[in-house]
Amino acid sequence: MKKFCQYILVLVISILFGIGIGTFMTEFEIDKLFKHRIDYATIIGLFALAMLFSVTLHELSHAFYFWINKVPLRFVAIFLFGFYKDDKKWKFIFYPNKITLRGGIAIPDLPAVNNESQFKKIRKVYSRALLFAPIISFVEAIVAMVAYATLLFSELITKYTNASVFLVFCIFAGFTMFFHRF
């Protein structure tokens, strides 16, 4: 019964999210963008660029929170690219056969835990770092929405069509990452 209620909750949230996206597209007249005959290659490229930007921002937010709290990082990966710490030096790796399909990961180099107070401190920092990045993704979506609205209401949307499409994809990616993490 508990699983059934969870599925219903996810379904209701997905429906509400779809209604919100539809309302957004209607209110902000996104269909105007596609009257200017943007080719498919440009749309796919802008989508890939927006996803790369959003995932990079998200993963670097995790890494930044760990850095603020003086927890060293061991590994950060974004799609095909990775950075790892080896003998106090950061090294870059490219690994096309181990693509991170979910976007990326930031792995801290957590110290050994010797007592309960250390465990509580590390758990607090780690859990807050996990929450920090979705909040940054939400802020990214809001900033992109404000930038898109600015272009729309200043009538510059037709002049900066590619930027407008990129902003729409950033809005989508930011909200998706935010809601997916919660």
Reported as a pLDDT band with limits 50, 70 and 90, residue 143 is very high
pLDDT tens digits, 24-49: 666 555 655 556 666 778 878 888 88
- What's the Cα-to-Cα distance from 101 to each of 80, 94, 106, 174, rounded to whole Å? 9, 14, 14, 17
How many CA atoms are closer than 13 Å to the CA of 138, on its beta-carbon side?
10
Structural domain tally of the chain?
1
Least confident window among 4-18, 112-126, 134-148: 4-18
Domain assignment of residue 151, given as a range: 39-181
Q: Report, as an integer, the average pLDDT of 135-163.
A: 85
Residue 103 in any domain: the answer is yes
* Choice between 136 and 77, residue whose per-residue pLDDT is larger: 136
Residue 117 in any domain: the answer is yes
**In the predicted structure, residue 174 carries a pLDDT above the cut 80:** yes
Closest CA to 73 of 99, 28, 108: 108
pLDDT tens digits, 61-95: 988 898 888 888 888 888 778 888 887 788 888 87
Residue 34 in any domain: the answer is no
- What's the Cα-to-Cα distance from 80 to each of 83, 92, 93, rounded to whole Å? 11, 11, 9
List the structure tokens of 31.
């269909």
Residue 113 in any domain: the answer is yes
Residue 158 in any domain: the answer is yes
Residue 50 in any domain: the answer is yes
Residue 59 in any domain: the answer is yes
What percentage of the chain has pLDDT greater than the value 90? Answer: 7
pLDDT tens digits, 91-114: 888 876 665 556 778 888 877 788
Residue 3 in any domain: the answer is no
